[in-house]
Structure 1
Amino acid sequence: MRAVPADLVREIYRAGCDGRVPRLPTDLTALEDEALKAMTPAAIGYVIGNAGTGRTGRENREAFDRRRLVPRMLRDVSARDLSVTLFGQRLPVPVLLAPIASQTVLHPEGELATVRGATDAGVPVVLSTGSSHSLEEVARAAPDGQRWFQFYWPSDRAVAESLVRRAEAGGYTALVLTVDAPAFGYRPTDMDNGYLPFLHGAGLANFTSDPAFRAGLPTDADGRAVVEHWARVFGNPALSWDDLPWLRELTELPILLKGVLHPDDARRAREYGVDGLVVSNHGGRQLDGSVAALDALPVVRAAVGPDLPVLLDSGVRTGSDVLKALALGANAVLYGRPYLYGLALDGREGVAHVLRCLLADLDLALALAGCPAVADVTGDLLMPTGGEQR
């Protein structure tokens, strides 16, 4: 019989007959509690801190909680297919790891452990520009894994071009341009700790390994000079729609815009030849008070029609959450903070554990909702708590 993600549940129960239980919790709340005990105060602030009052972060979760699933009965779900196809690429599951920078603040191996654990679990990775290991090192760490590259567009166009070319050469198969960060959000937790990992050298590897970036440094540059040069180059508050044709001309990789919430921006992105969108509010870490990503999802989907790939990021925690996002029009989701808890607790194995639990939950959620495949998930599976069927 073909192995399926839900087999994890049976394996755990069988092991329990021999007195063995999982080393890490399968409950996300318990997992988070354990992980926070293992982290430094600065790392805790970096991982759980949100912008402003944290309202947007809470709204992300409340948007999922407001919606209820209405399962369908007496459908054959004996064989289930979690795969999706995006940009001609078959992904085994409708989940990718969200790009999160500076992961060595949680584990010495950082993104290397993450990409290995994700590959073990069969989950594609979106690598952050702010990785603590270069994109080439990450590619070598899991050569069989599926990888996309998240792109923070630098203010130096030579560095921008170099990063894109390196992503192409490194086997990254899509480019995810983050557009909701012309500046860092107002993050009180990080500020109270006086901590930004980049200024401590975590998350600079793609820059310090880049020839175009190094060309702007004196040969005797010390660590402080490198950080100051990074601060000048990183990010581009002048970035506008007029810059997109240059990027479109530069690369044949599929380009997704990450951070789109407004339907007019979604329509305009399509007009500019963007290949996909990621509906996201940066996990509540940018503009406090912005709309919950899940609430924006159906509006963005309606704006661009059924054919343009749309992914959902921000607030996803469980298999049922993934199901709800799919029902509202997402082709797939990005999964963020929970895998960091696994990384902090047990490196590669911790990441794989978290993802296997998520996929088992999703596999069972599909079965219990009456959906033998991701393609069978439709909007009529959802009813908001107010009782109005979607």
Structure 2
Amino acid sequence: MAEPLLTGDVPSEDGPAARRPPGPGHPSGLGRPENADAAGGLAPPASLADFAERARAVLPADVWDFVNGGSGTETTLAANRAALDRVAVLPRVLTGVDRPRTEAVLPGGTYALPVAVAPMAYQRLLHPGGERALAAAARAAGVPYAASTLSSTPIEGIAAAGGTVWFQLYWLRERALVADLLDRAHAAGCAAVMVTVDVPVLGRRLRDVRNGFALPAHVTAANLPRGRDDLAHQGTPGVSAVAAHTDAVFAPALSWADLAWLRARTPLPLLVKGVLDPRDAVRAAETGADAVVVSNHGGRQLDGAPATAAVLPEVVAAVGERCAVLLDSGVRSGTDVLRALALGAAGVLVGRPLLWALAAGGRAGAEAALALLAAELRDALTLTGCADPAAARHLSTRIGG
């Protein structure tokens, strides 16, 4: 079972979590990390990947696996990165661009970057500040924060901490609970609803199975009625308690009729996340979706599903002007954001790197990661002669270099 990240002290939203004793490579532990400067301190992160090393140094091994693992043999998890790395973007020259703008239109408004924080469960596993800290960092960066149904902080608290908050909905077996969650999201001032459609059951995540992963007592599914997440805390060897919990509460038979009900139930912009087949993207748009999110759940659902960057152009071509298309899964840099734009996406969702930053430094770490992402995107736009993200959607690409 995952060990608690708290040891009795009152947690600070911005301070480090209390965790197991540091080992070699920990910034306060027995030896210097690889990215230490000459004085022995940590050099500023040069990329989002640098946060991963710091997060791994402070997280329990089973929590690290829970965040970073995929399903099955993790074929799709690896494919997401490989596919993005194969996208070469042809720069335009002599465009007269000096300081490109990074603002972009996404569902619900215009934001500082063509980026939203992906919905991710149980963020208090990573840091005591959890969802509040990451939502506050998103607010500071001027980007939307997608709050998960399985947040470890209630949606009301997240909305109070964040700027623009989208509510991500998992479809539950009890329709009354779904309706209640929507009402709470509306009352909290959420700017959009994002329904995840690729989790009829949780993918078989072998790292969690082998670890017998379960939630520590202080991390709960805070949006669900008390006691509805008991199964997620019951550690059993060879069983993922999180999977046992979601199998008990998620409705496996979500249908197009349910999506139509949701569209009629909320006046907010509606995003449909977990689409890979262009035919499903078209049908989602015809059902009233304002955006589809091309996603394979970060390689955590069907192992063997295609990489999202590989199918993104087909989805964009299929939906045309019916709705916006966003890319999720595998984004690790401003160059990846540029690649997604050049392939036709309106923007991207960024997930794991922001959890690494949250684990490494709380709100300040997440703010630093988003600032780094913005700087990388500005550089990428400048180097390709693009005045803004909209111009990047007209760049040409080559697959394979």
TM-score by shorter chain over 0.5: yes
2:190 aligned with 1:175: no
Please name the residue that 1:204 is paired with.
221
**Take 2:217 and 2:209, find their aligned partners in 1: how far apart are those partners?**
14
2:123 aligned with 1:103: yes
CA 1:110/1:24 → structure 2, altered by over 3 Å: closer, same or farther?
farther
2:276 aligned with 1:276: no
Please name the residue that 1:69 is paired with.
89
Match of 1:149, SS state, is strand
**Take 1:225 and 1:292, find their aligned partners in 2: how far apart are those partners?**
32
Q: Which amino acid aligns with 1:269?
A: A
Please name the residue that 1:12 is paired with.
none
Q: Following superposition of structure 1 onto structure 2, how do residues 1-390 of structure 1 map, counting pairs within 5 Å?
A: 24-142=44-162, 145-197=163-215, 200=217, 202-208=219-225, 224=230, 234-385=249-400
1:37 offset after TM fit, Å? Answer: 1.1
Q: Which amino acid aligns with 2:210?
A: D
Q: Which amino acid aligns with 2:66?
A: Y
Match of 1:206, SS state, is coil
Larger CA deviation: 333-342 vs 110-119: 110-119
1:24 offset after TM fit, Å? Answer: 4.1
CA 1:222/1:176 → structure 2, altered by over 3 Å: closer, same or farther?
closer
Match of 1:207, SS state, is coil
Match of 1:311, SS state, is strand
Q: Which amino acid aligns with 1:127?
A: A
1:225 offset after TM fit, Å? Answer: 8.2
**Take 2:293 and 2:88, find their aligned partners in 1: how far apart are those partners?**
23
**Take 1:81 and 1:262, find their aligned partners in 2: how far apart are those partners?**
32
CA 1:56/1:309 → structure 2, altered by over 3 Å: closer, same or farther?
same
1:26 offset after TM fit, Å? Answer: 2.1
Please name the residue that 1:3 is paired with.
none
Larger proportion of helix: 1
**Take 1:336 and 1:384, find their aligned partners in 2: how far apart are those partners?**
24
Question: For each residue in 1:244-266, what CA deviation from the matched residue of structure 2 results, as whole angstroms up to 9, or x when unmatched?
Answer: 22111211011111000001111
RMSD: 2.3
**Paired residues of 1:156 and 1:233 also in contact (CA < 8 A):** no
Match of 1:287, SS state, is coil
**Take 2:126 and 2:232, find their aligned partners in 1: how far apart are those partners?**
23
Q: Which amino acid aligns with 2:274?
A: G
1:117 offset after TM fit, Å? Answer: 1.6
**Paired residues of 1:152 and 1:234 also in contact (CA < 8 A):** no
1:196 offset after TM fit, Å? Answer: 3.6
**Paired residues of 2:293 and 2:327 also in contact (CA < 8 A):** yes
**Paired residues of 2:345 and 2:393 also in contact (CA < 8 A):** no
Q: Which amino acid aligns with 1:62?
A: A
1:104 offset after TM fit, Å? Answer: 0.8
**Take 1:30 and 1:91, find their aligned partners in 2: how far apart are those partners?**
26
**Paired residues of 2:108 and 2:269 also in contact (CA < 8 A):** no
Please name the residue that 2:238 is paired with.
none
**Take 1:32 and 1:55, find their aligned partners in 2: how far apart are those partners?**
20
Match of 1:278, SS state, is strand
Q: Which amino acid aligns with 2:331?
A: V
Please name the residue that 2:25 is paired with.
none
Match of 1:176, SS state, is strand
**Paired residues of 2:103 and 2:110 also in contact (CA < 8 A):** yes
1:346 offset after TM fit, Å? Answer: 0.8
Which runs of 5 or more residues in structure 2 are unaligned?
Answer: 1-38, 235-243
How many residues matched? 354
1:28 offset after TM fit, Å? Answer: 3.0
Match of 2:146, SS state, is strand
State the percentage of identical aligned residues: 44
Match of 1:329, SS state, is coil
TM-score by length of 1: 0.85
1:150 offset after TM fit, Å? Answer: 0.6
**Paired residues of 2:95 and 2:385 also in contact (CA < 8 A):** yes
Match of 2:305, SS state, is coil
Larger CA deviation: 361-370 vs 298-307: 298-307
Q: Which amino acid aligns with 2:389?
A: V
Please name the residue that 2:28 is paired with.
none
Q: Which amino acid aligns with 1:139?
A: A
Question: For each residue in 1:43-99, what CA deviation from the matched residue of structure 2 results, as whole angstroms up to 9, or x when unmatched?
Answer: 111111100111101100001111112111111222322112234511121000001
Q: Which amino acid aligns with 2:109?
A: Q
Match of 2:168, SS state, is strand
